[in-house]
């Protein structure tokens, strides 16, 4: 089934694989691709990957997985390089953080052992050796790769790790000597490692009541497999093997992450049934407040993870991982919220500063200028004050204001410049509208006295009361002259809208004395030539084969309806080829049909939305598509009209009859809350 009911009810003559007629190529390749894409969406009931909620959810899940793999792989690669590794050579264990961290741990334990010796009291010579062995078992690893020897101020042995400890220390390249015998802390070592905390060693040794000389070393070759050095060495070897996988994983995950991120950026805000970007409730908050919330929750979660990793809780790793997941959720959702704002054009217009400028813009010129100057002085003065007075607050050693002030200054200027440009454009458009109105009034004034009938048929929009008086006058003139007044071949129909087309049946001899109109009617739309002929008491002869530019006709009708549409915040975008689209049919008929569509937009289009009217040619036919969002209170009625087997009513029914009378096709459909109108009709293109 197609979008408009039966598969071949409308699009059977729009063949995707067929070539356009020579001379009908009026669109660029990019424009053709865009229209083809939209037609494909309509044929497939509006499905599109960027509008598929399940597909977007899966993409977000894999985006998170790719980010997690990228972070884990990146950490493994960072660890490898930070330990002295390179792409061509592996790092050395004895210069790695694995070795340094284990050495640091053993040194601290050794200093704690010395403090325990001072607090154990006097022990006899027979029991001293056993007591020392017990301390070594409690604080250090027995028969490990770490050797030590401790001497007091008189150079007497206090404790040694083993009988061969001195020989192993003297043979080792990885030794440390700590000395406090002269009342000062002295350190000698044959190695350098960033994991060594020399300040902690000094604090532990100087807190002892006595003075000592401590020697410690690690064997050049790890002969023991029962201590922490061997275990850390195994972890270090695993790092080398993990690096080979991690360097590939980080590249693959980064590529996948980038592809999914681009897809998510394109898809975010796109929802089936909505022509524009759909904003969530969070997207409608002031931009500055939303950024503060994103940074607060995302940054707070990252800080929480960092804090938990520094604690001794048994669940710290799980809790830190959960905090990082929350940070990712806050940051990525906040990022997509900013993207949706940018795509919808509300990033700047929804800023608090911009809204303040908009409020100020409603004041007269002099107060407006004074208030703007005052606001800019206060705002920039506050930024300067913050630079000098709030630089004590730092993050990673950088004053926070040094980052925030430039950002606020740039956004402030963007808001001000955007407001100035929009204000200038708005005033320019208002002036242009006034000029256009004056030109239209002048043209109408010149044409009214003419008695001759122009070859083209031009539409007109006039107040209902004026039209009623003109028709009454025309009826009187026609009766006096005993000349029948020509009429259309369309029956009178109540359109249920702002335009009431009072057209008599074919073969009527004259016009009735009065045409009744609905109290809700605002305008009556009839061609000027018909009005002129009625006023002159002469019949108007129409040329049914008159050629006219369909694009210009759309522009003229859009202009007539612009006032009411603008009041409701509805904008109409026309997408058309550069060359004219010339139709050979009664222009008045097409004017009525398109006017019915615009009248429908006035009544049922969602306020503050955009309507898209697309027209192009294919194989000697005009394809015309209008898409608009339907306001909530009219949604059910619109669905009922477009249901299978339902008949159109009001203006749309009239439009369909007109199009079908001219051997064309007229169809409507609903996709979500989007009402779509389609016309297919023969044409001739210059």
Per-residue H/E/C for 414-468: HHHHHHHHHHHHHHHHHHHHHHHHHHHHHHHHHHCCCCCCCCCCCCCEEEHHHHH
Partner residues linked to 574 by β-bridges:
613
What is the pLDDT averaged over residues 226-244? 86
pLDDT over threshold 80, residue 39:
no
Residue 46 Ramachandran class (φ > 0 left, ψ -120 to 50 alpha, else beta): left
Q: Report d(CA 315, CA 322) in Å as an integer.
A: 11
pLDDT(94) > 60 = yes
Q: Which residues of 479-489 are buried (b: 16+ CB within 10 A; e: fewer)?
A: eeeeeebebbe
Q: So what's the pLDDT on residue 249? A: 92
Q: What is the predicted pLDDT for the residue at 62?
A: 92
**pLDDT band of 625, cuts 50, 70, 90:** very high
CA distance 97 to 107: 15
In this predicted model, which residue has the larger pLDDT, 456 or 231?
231
pLDDT tens column, 310-335: 887 888 889 988 998 999 999 999 99
117: confidence class by pLDDT, cuts 50, 70, 90: confident
Retrieve residue 223's tokens: 């002969």
What was the pLDDT predicted at 435?
Answer: 55
Which tokens is 414 given? 């963007």
Confidence at residue 257, expressed as pLDDT on a 0 to 100 scale: 93
Nearest-angstrom CA–CA distance, 353 and 370:
16
CB 97 within 8 A of CB 75: no
Rounded CA-CA distance 500/237 in Å is: 86
| Residue environment code for 205-240, b if the CB has 16+ CB neighbours within 10 A, otherwise e | beeeeebbbbbbbbbeebeeeebbbbebbeebeebe
Q: How distant, in Å, are the alpha carbons of 606, 607, 629, 640 from that of 633?
A: 10, 12, 12, 13
Helix (H) or strand (E) holding 357: helix 352-360
Local confidence band at 69 (pLDDT 50, 70, 90 cut-offs): very high
Note whether 451 and 535 are within 8 A (CB): no
Please state which of the ranges 158-162, 321-325, 424-428, 591-595 shows the lowest mean pLDDT: 424-428
Name the one residue in this structure whose structure tokens are 């045409």. 515
Q: pTM higher than 0.85, yes or no?
A: no
Least confident of 58-62, 173-177, 440-444, 604-608: 440-444
CA 325-331-333 angle, to 5 degrees, is 100
pLDDT value at residue 403: 82
Residue 457, pLDDT score: 36
Rounded to 10 deg, the angle between the 365-389 and 400-447 helix axes is 160
Phi, psi of 498 (to 5 degrees): -80, -15
CA–CA distance, 585 with 1 (Å, rounded to integer): 32
Find where tokens 């027209």 sit: 615
Running DSSP on this structure, what letter comes out for residue 47? -
Q: Hey, which residues does 64 pair with through a beta bridge?
A: none
Residue 275: what pLDDT? 66
Question: Which class does domain 11-48+546-682 fall in?
Answer: alpha beta
* Angle, helices 650-661/587-604, rounded to nearest 10 degrees: 160
Segment 251-289, tens digit of pLDDT: 999 999 999 999 999 888 887 766 678 888 888 889 889
Q: Is the dihedral of CA 534, 535, 537, 538 positive or negative?
A: negative
Q: Which of the residue ranges 132-141, 192-201, 278-287, 340-349 would you say has the lowest mean pLDDT? A: 132-141
C-beta separation of 97 from 83 below 8 A:
yes
φ and ψ of 152, to 5 deg: -85, -170
pLDDT at 640 over 50: yes
Crossing angle of helices 287-309 and 352-360, in 10° steps, is 160
Least trusted range by pLDDT, from 35-44, 65-74, 345-354: 35-44
Per-residue pLDDT band for 549 (boundaries 50, 70, 90) equals confident
Give residue 29's pLDDT band: very low, low, confident or very high (50, 70, 90). Answer: low
Percent of the chain exceeding pLDDT 70 equals 74
Q: What percent of the chain has pLDDT over 90?
A: 10
Q: How, if at all, do strands 186-189 and 398-399 pair?
A: unpaired
Give the confidence band of 432 by pLDDT, cuts at 50, 70, 90.
low
Q: Residue ranges per domain, the chain?
A: 11-48+546-682, 121-224, 352-425, 461-536
Most confident of the following: 357-361, 363-367, 622-626: 622-626
What's the pLDDT score for residue 9? 44
Note whether 211 and 114 are within 8 A (CB): no
Q: Which of 102, 81, 101 is nearest to 90 (CA)?
A: 81
Which helix (H) or strand (E) covers residue 176, if one does? strand 174-179
Question: What's the pLDDT tens digit per position in 374-402?
Answer: 988 998 888 888 888 888 877 767 887 88
Q: What is the DSSP letter of 364?
A: -
Distance between CA 520 and CA 523 in Å, rounded? 10
| Residue 138, pLDDT score | 83
In a 13 Å sphere around the CA of 617, the CA atoms on its Cβ side amount to: 26
Give the E-state strand segments of 473-581 in sequence order: 523-525, 547-549, 571-575
What's the confidence (pLDDT) of residue 250?
92
Look at residue 624 and tell me whether its pLDDT is greater than 60. Answer: yes
Position 30 confidence tier, pLDDT thresholds 50, 70, 90: low
More confident residue, 83 or 439: 83
660 contact partners, CB below 8 Å, separation of at least 6: 666
Output the pLDDT for position 425: 64
Structure tokens at 518: 């609905």
C-beta of residue 183 within 8 angstroms of C-beta of residue 208: no
Residue 487 confidence (pLDDT): 35
Residue 576 and residue 617 in contact, taking contact as beta carbons nearer than 8 Å: no
Res. 293 pLDDT band, cuts 50 70 90? very high
Closest CA to 99 of 194, 165, 22: 194
Contact 672, 274 (CB under 8 A): yes
Provide the 3-class DSSP secondary structure of residue 157. strand
């Amino acid at each position: 089934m197609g979008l408009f009911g039966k598969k071949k009810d409308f699009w059977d003559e729009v063949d995707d694989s067929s070539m356009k007629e020579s001379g009908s190529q009026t669109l660029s390749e990019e424009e053709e691709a865009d229209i083809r894409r939209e037609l494909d969406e309509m044929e497939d009931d509006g499905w599109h990957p960027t509008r598929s909620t399940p597909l977007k959810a899966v993409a977000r899940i894999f985006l998170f997985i790719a980010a997690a793999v990228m972070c884990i792989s990146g950490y493994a690669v960072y660890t490898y390089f930070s330990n002295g590794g390179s792409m061509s050579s592996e790092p050395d264990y004895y210069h790695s953080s694995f070795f340094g961290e284990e050495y640091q741990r053993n040194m601290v334990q050794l200093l704690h052992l010395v403090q325990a010796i001072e607090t154990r009291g006097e022990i006899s010579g027979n029991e001293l050796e056993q007591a020392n062995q017990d301390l070594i078992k409690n604080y250090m690893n027995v028969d490990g790769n770490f050797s030590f020897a401790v001497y007091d101020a008189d150079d007497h042995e206090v404790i040694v790790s083993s009988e061969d400890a001195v020989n192993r220390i003297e043979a080792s390249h990885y030794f440390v000597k700590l000395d406090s015998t002269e009342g000062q802390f002295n350190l000698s070592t044959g190695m350098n490692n960033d994991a060594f905390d020399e300040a902690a060693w000094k604090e532990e040794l100087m807190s002892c009541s006595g003075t000592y000389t401590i020697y410690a070393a690690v064997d050049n070759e790890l002969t023991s497999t029962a201590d922490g050095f061997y275990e850390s060495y195994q972890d270090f070897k695993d790092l080398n093997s993990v690096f080979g996988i991690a360097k590939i994983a980080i590249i693959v995950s980064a590529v996948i992450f980038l592809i999914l991120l681009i897809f998510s950026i394109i898809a975010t805000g796109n929802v089936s049934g909505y022509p524009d970007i759909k904003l969530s409730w969070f997207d409608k908050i002031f931009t500055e407040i939303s950024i503060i919330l994103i940074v607060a929750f995302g940054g707070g979660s990252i800080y929480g993870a960092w804090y938990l990793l520094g604690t001794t809780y048994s669940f710290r790793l799980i809790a830190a991982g959960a905090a990082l997941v929350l940070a990712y959720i806050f940051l990525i959702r906040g990022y997509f919220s900013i993207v949706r704002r940018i795509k919808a054009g509300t990033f700047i217009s929804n800023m608090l500063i911009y809204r303040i400028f908009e409020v100020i813009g409603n004041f007269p010129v002099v107060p407006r200028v004074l208030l703007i100057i005052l606001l800019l002085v206060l705002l920039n003065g506050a930024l300067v004050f913050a630079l000098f007075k709030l630089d004590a607050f730092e993050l990673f050693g950088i004053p926070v204001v040094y980052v925030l002030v430039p950002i606020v200054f740039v956004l402030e200027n963007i808001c001000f410049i955007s407001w100035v440009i929009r204000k200038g454009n708005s005033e320019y458009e208002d002036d242009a509208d006034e000029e256009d109105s004056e030109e239209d009034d002048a043209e109408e004034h010149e044409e009214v006295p003419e008695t001759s009938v122009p070859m083209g048929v031009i539409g007109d929009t006039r107040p209902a009361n004026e039209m009623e008086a003109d028709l009454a006058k025309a009826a009187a003139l026609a009766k006096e002259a005993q000349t029948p007044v020509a009429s259309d071949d369309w029956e009178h129909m109540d359109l249920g809208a702002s335009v009431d087309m009072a057209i008599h049946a074919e073969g009527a001899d004259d016009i009735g004395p009065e045409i009744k109109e609905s109290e809700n009617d605002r305008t009556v739309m009839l061609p000027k030539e018909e009005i002129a002929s009625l006023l002159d008491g002469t019949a108007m002869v129409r040329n049914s084969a008159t050629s006219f530019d369909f694009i210009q006709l759309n522009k003229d009708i859009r202009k007539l309806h612009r006032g009411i549409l603008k009041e409701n915040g509805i904008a109409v975008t026309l997408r058309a080829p550069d060359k004219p689209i010339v139709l050979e049919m009664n222009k008045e008929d097409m004017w009525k049909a398109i006017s019915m569509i615009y009248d429908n937009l006035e009544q049922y289009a969602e306020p503050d939305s955009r309507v898209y009217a697309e027209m192009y040619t294919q194989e000697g036919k005009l394809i015309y598509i209008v898409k608009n969002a339907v306001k909530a209170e009219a949604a059910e009625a619109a669905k009922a009209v477009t249901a299978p087997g339902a008949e159109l009513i009001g203006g749309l029914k009239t439009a369909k009859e007109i199009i079908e009378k001219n051997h064309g096709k007229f169809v409507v459909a609903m996709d979500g809350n989007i009402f779509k109108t389609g016309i297919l009709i023969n044409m001739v293109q210059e």
